[in-house]
Amino acid sequence: MLRIDAPAKINLALHITGQRADGYHLIDSLVVFAEFGDQVSVELSDKDGFQLDGPEAAALSSEAASSNLVVRARDALRDAARRSGLDMPPVGIYLDKRLPVASGIGGGSADAAATIKALCELWDYRPGPEVLAKLALDLGADVPMCLDGKPLTARGIGEALNPVELGFDLDLVIVNPRVGVSTPSVFSALKHRNNAPLPSPEGLNDKDRFVEWLRTTRNDLQPPAQQMVPAIADCLSALRHAGASLARMSGSGASCFGVFDSPGAAQAAAADLQQQHSGWFIAATQTTR
């Protein structure tokens, strides 16, 4: 059995810079990935199968298996192989769901990306980068960046990716109030869609300077999301009171993150927050490079 991590995606900054004629919004985002996340396991089998487990699995248990991004990623990759004249064997896929569902930290997209990576390895199938890029984007705007899995800027509708060489890891606490947020509704509530783009990152080898620069950026989806879900403001306030040097919402919410000075500070803050807000999802983690 082959196991692949599906790390949480964190939008450190997310600027909305326009909207295409087809309705897709244009973004300019700085994205990092965390050590914490889901895990996808695959193995050859007599027939295709999909099993769901983990502490956050209940939120997906009523979803039809065929609509899960993991299954859609498997089918899309098999179709791509078939067009190349290859017939891929059945597989069993197991998803250990640890990230909250529909929470702005890329859980489903990360799962799809991990499935693609795992099956390429299991099937010994090596599609070209153009095939993979189109396949990932067809599954969702966040899947290409999750397939990349390293610090990057994402532009366009999420398909134009450029690596960012961070010289350090960030110590984070991720908090989710377990209140659902509709991504289309958040985008619809945006008052301005032609905002200033993300400035060039500074302090890529100096954590303090980088966090100072990060404060000059924003998440343009945070104000409309907070209006729809006031609990987001509660999460941000709690993170600041716990000692975060920066607190911000990720993606379209409702997950928020706080930046802390050290792994110990993040873990202590997470423990304190869990005592105060037992109904929230809370996890201390570190970014990866």
Q: Do 52 and 185 share a domain, yes or no?
A: no
Q: What CA–CA distance (Å, rounded) separates 126 from 263? A: 37
CATH number at residue 220: 3.30.70.890
Annotated catalytic residue 207: no
Residue that is last in its domain, among 162, 187, 218:
162
Say what the pLDDT of residue 202 is.
97
Residue that is last in its domain, among 114, 137, 162:
162
Q: Do 144 and 175 share a domain, yes or no?
A: no
Q: What is the pLDDT of residues 224-234, one digit of tens each?
A: 999 999 999 99
Q: Which among 9, 97, 117, 207 is annotated as catalytic?
A: 9
Q: How far is CA 264 from the centre of its chain?
A: 24
Q: Do 147 and 250 share a domain, yes or no?
A: no
Q: What is the pLDDT of residues 14-32, one digit of tens each?
A: 999 999 999 999 999 999 9
Reply yes or no on whether the pLDDT at 64 is more than 80: no
Reply yes or no on whether the pLDDT at 127 is more than 80: yes
Note down the domain range covering 62.
2-162
Sign of CA dihedral 156, 158, 163, 169: positive
Q: Do 12 and 155 share a domain, yes or no?
A: yes
Q: How confident is residue 123, by pLDDT bands cut at 50, 70 and 90?
A: very high
Q: Do 12 and 79 share a domain, yes or no?
A: yes
Q: How confident is residue 213, by pLDDT bands cut at 50, 70 and 90?
A: very high
Say what the pLDDT of residue 173 is.
98
Q: What CA–CA distance (Å, rounded) separates 8 from 35? A: 7
Q: Please give the tally of structural domains in the chain.
A: 2
Write out the DSSP string of the chain.
Answer: -EEEEEEEEEEEEEEEEEE-TTSPEEEEEEEEEEEEEEEEEEEE-SS-EEEEESTTGGGGTTS-GGGSHHHHHHHHHHHHHHHTT--PPPEEEEEE--SPTTSSS-HHHHHHHHHHHHHHHHTT----HHHHHHHHHHH-TTHHHHHH-SSEEEEETTTEEEE---SS--EEEEEE-S----HHHHHHT-S-SSPPPPPPP--TT-HHHHHHHHTT--BTTHHHHHHH-THHHHHHHHHHHTT-SEEEE-TTSS-EEEEESSHHHHHHHHHHHHHH-TTSEEEEEEB--
Q: What CA–CA distance (Å, rounded) separates 34 from 171? A: 9
Instruction: State the pTM of this model.
Output: 0.96
Residues 47-57 have a mean pLDDT of: 95
Residues shown for the chain:
289
Q: Do 157 and 170 share a domain, yes or no?
A: no
Q: Do 137 and 29 share a domain, yes or no?
A: yes
Residue that is last in its domain, among 162, 196, 214:
162
Q: How confident is residue 59, by pLDDT bands cut at 50, 70 and 90?
A: confident
CATH number at residue 90: 3.30.230.10
Q: How confident is residue 66, by pLDDT bands cut at 50, 70 and 90?
A: confident
Q: Which among 28, 38, 142, 148 is annotated as catalytic?
A: 142
Q: How confident is residue 180, by pLDDT bands cut at 50, 70 and 90?
A: confident
Q: Do 16 and 124 share a domain, yes or no?
A: yes
Q: Do 153 and 214 share a domain, yes or no?
A: no
Say what the pLDDT of residue 132 is.
96
For 137, other C-beta atoms within 10 Å of its C-beta total 17
Reply yes or no on whether the pLDDT at 61 is more than 80: no
Average pLDDT, the chain: 96
Say what the pLDDT of residue 228 is.
95
Annotated catalytic residue 191: no
Q: Do 23 and 138 share a domain, yes or no?
A: yes
Q: Do 87 and 175 share a domain, yes or no?
A: no
Q: Do 235 and 282 share a domain, yes or no?
A: yes
